[in-house]
Amino acid sequence: MTTRTKQLAKLLIRILIATGLLVWVFSQIDLKQFWQAAKMARWQFLIAVWLLTVVLFWIRSMKMRLVLKKQDCSVSVGTLFGATTVTALYSMIMPGMLSTGIKWYILKRSTGKGRVVLSSMVYNQLSTMVVITVFGLAALMISNPTSLLIPDAENQWLLPAFCGILLVAVVLTSFLLLNIRTGGKVIRVLKLLLRPLPAKLCQKGREILDQIAIFQTVGWRFHLMVGLITITDTLIGGIVTYILAARSANITAPVSVFVWLCAGIYILGRLPISVANLGIREITLVGFLAIYNVEKSAALLMSMILFSALVVMAVIGAIYQLSWSITAKKSILQ
Predicted pLDDT at 228: 92
Percent of the chain with pLDDT over 70: 95
pLDDT in tens, 124-140: 988 999 999 999 999 99
The Cα–Cα gap between 71 and 115 comes to 11
The confidence score (pLDDT) of residue 313 equals 94
Contacts of 289 (CB under 8 A, 6+ apart): 251, 253, 257, 261, 298, 299, 302
- Answer whether 50's CB lies under 8 Å from 314's CB: no
> Mean pLDDT across the stretch 22-28?
86
The mean per-residue pLDDT over the stretch 305-310 comes to 93
**CA nearest neighbour of 128 among 190, 169, 92, 170:** 170
Q: Where are the alpha helices (DSSP H) in the chain?
A: 3-27, 31-39, 44-70, 77-90, 100-111, 114-143, 146-149, 158-178, 183-194, 199-212, 220-232, 240-248, 255-269, 280-289, 296-333
- The SS3 assignment for 279 reads coil
Tell me the per-residue pLDDT of 270-292, one tens digit each, with 9 for 90 and over: 877 777 788 889 999 999 999 99
Residues of the chain with pLDDT > 90, as a percent, come to 43
Task: Report pLDDT digits (tens) over 197-245.
Answer: 788 778 878 888 888 888 888 888 999 999 999 998 888 767 899 999 9
The average pLDDT across 11-18 equals 79
98 DSSP 8-state letter: G
Residue 108 has pLDDT above 80, yes or no: yes
Tens digits of residue pLDDT in 76-103:
999 999 999 999 888 887 766 667 888 8
3-state helix, strand, coil in the chain (%, to 5): 80, 0, 20
- pLDDT per residue over 142-179, tens digit each? 988 888 777 766 778 888 999 999 999 999 999 998 88
**Helical (H) or strand (E) element with 95:** none
Instruction: Output b/e per residue, 257-296; b: 16+ Cβ within 10 A.
Output: bbbbbbbbbbebbeeebbbbbbbbbbbbbbebbeeeebbb
Q: pTM value?
A: 0.88
Average pLDDT, the chain: 87
- Rounded-to-integer distance, Cα 173 and Cα 243, Å: 30
Residue type, 249: A
The answer to whether the beta carbons of residues 131 and 231 sit under 8 Å apart is yes
Distance of CA 299 to the CA centre of its chain: 20
Domain boundaries of the chain, sorted by first residue: 43-333
